[in-house]
Amino acid sequence: MSPATPLRVHVRRLVRLLEQWWNDPADYRWLTALMDSRGLLPAMKAFIAFGGLVLALISALVQFSSSAPDTIVGRVVCGLVSVLALVWAMRWAFGEWPTPGESLRLCVAADVAITVACVFDSNRLAGLAGTTLFVVTGAYITFFHGPRLHAAHVVWATVSVVAFAVWMGVDGGTPALVLAVAKALIALIVIVGILPVLQFGYWLIRTSAVDSLVDPLTGLANRRGLDHHIAHTFTAGPATTVCAILVDLDNFKAINDRYGHAVGDRVLVRVADRIQRAVDAGGFTARLGGEEFLVLHTLSASVAAELAERVRLAVAEPADPPITASVGVALTDHPRGLATGTGDIGDLLAAADTAMYAAKQLGGDAVRHHAA
């Protein structure tokens, strides 16, 4: 039985993960793309808009409560908060999903509005209770933004909560301070304790999901990544011609047998890099397995032929050990069928495969096109 792993090893692993989480750029569009592919984006927009309506309602109801602001300035400010919350709700309900920059500004505005609204509550306890609304903006940031914005939100919310607790203690003495500390801890345990941990866990799941779509050797998409790309790319938009360029390395087994698998792996990495450089930004490249690669692009037949030849030449560029590829090209005019699973992707790949084998029969290092 192997000895238990020392605690310091677990700590180092955790520290490395936390560093990766902190330095990982926020992938704002990953979750929105996922929800959009499942048809959930309208429901999420409605849910966030509802949150804005609730905040507007709360700010309005406070005006008629015993905790209403006791100054004209306070009432005006709370009224403005209600209006801004209503604008927030309308923006989410009827506008497009915001850009990353606009989303960040909305989060900042919401945090500031919550603090301002709580400041003008004439009842300090009610103002402190209102800081629990930071949980709402924190939950949004948890899933749609990165740890740096989340850290800024936590600092702002913590300073606001602590300031209200101290303010309440100064006004009401020790008993009020004890109550304020208890109320503040309730808010902070969620804002500081639960939501950051939740974001870290979500990051782990998201990165694991993304990694499962990538071939670990070449960094290209794998079969699962190809399916994901098709489902997210061809579901909407105008009909267009999609070309599949299937690339199969010639005599790759001989390289493995002669030089070993380590050299074979380096050849695969080199080929993947060359194919990517040959394909412009609009194309999608995947490794289907073994020595087989696929390029998907929206191109006309003539341009697809030029791209296939460019890929063949790129693979065959001088290197040690040298390698060439047989390239098959096929096209379809029904891209939506690729995403809806009507069999078009199988037909398209089968056609490209047939063309690729025709190139093989010519001795390799050739391009062949499937007859429509």
Which tens digit of pLDDT belongs to each residue from 169-183?
888 788 888 888 888
Long-range contacts of 357-363 (CB under 8 A, 24+ apart): 357/326, 357/328, 358/328, 359/326, 359/327, 359/328, 360/248, 360/250, 360/326
Q: Where are the domains of the chain?
A: 7-211, 223-369
The residue that leads in pLDDT, 30 or 327, is: 327
Tokens of residue 180, six digits: 């304020």
Q: What's the pLDDT tens digit per position in 75-94?
A: 888 888 889 889 989 999 99
pTM for this one?
A: 0.67
- Tell me, what's the pLDDT at 338? 53
Asked whether the predicted pLDDT for residue 189 surpasses 70, the reply is yes
- Tell me, what's the pLDDT at 2? 47
Q: What's the pLDDT tens digit per position in 192-236?
A: 999 999 999 999 888 887 778 888 889 899 988 888 788 777 655
What does residue 239 show for φ and ψ, rounded to 5 degrees? Answer: -65, 140
- Tell me, what's the pLDDT at 1? 42
pLDDT band at 341 (very low <50, low <70, confident <90, very high): very low
- Tell me, what's the pLDDT at 37? 65
| Percent of the chain topping pLDDT 70 | 94
Other Cβ atoms less than 10 A from the Cβ of 319: the count is 13
CATH class of 223-369: alpha beta
Q: What's the pLDDT tens digit per position in 265-304?
A: 999 999 999 999 999 878 899 999 899 999 999 888 889 9
Tokens of residue 20, six digits: 């990766």
**Distance between CA atoms of 237 and 100, rounded to whole angstroms?**
23
- The DSSP line for 345-358 is HHHHHHHHHHHHHH
Q: How far is Cα of residue 328 from the mean position of the Cα atoms in its chain?
A: 33
Q: What's the pLDDT tens digit per position in 91-141?
A: 999 998 898 899 999 899 999 988 988 888 777 788 888 888 899 899 999
- Tell me, what's the pLDDT at 344? 65
| Percent of the chain topping pLDDT 90 | 44
- Tell me, what's the pLDDT at 238? 54
Closest by CA to 116, choosing from 79, 72, 171, is 79
- Tell me, what's the pLDDT at 132? 87
Closest by CA to 95, choosing from 141, 134, 41, is 41
Tokens of residue 255, six digits: 């390289």
The order of strands in the sheet holding 284-289 is: 284-289, 292-298, 242-249, 325-332, 366-369
pLDDT band at 342 (very low <50, low <70, confident <90, very high): very low
**Distance between CA atoms of 303 and 311, rounded to whole angstroms?**
12
Please calculate the CA angle 291-297-302 and round it to the nearest 5 degrees. 105
Q: How far is Cα of residue 227 from the mean position of the Cα atoms in its chain?
A: 17
E strands within the chain?
Answer: 242-249, 284-289, 292-298, 325-332, 366-369
Tokens of residue 65, six digits: 């409560």
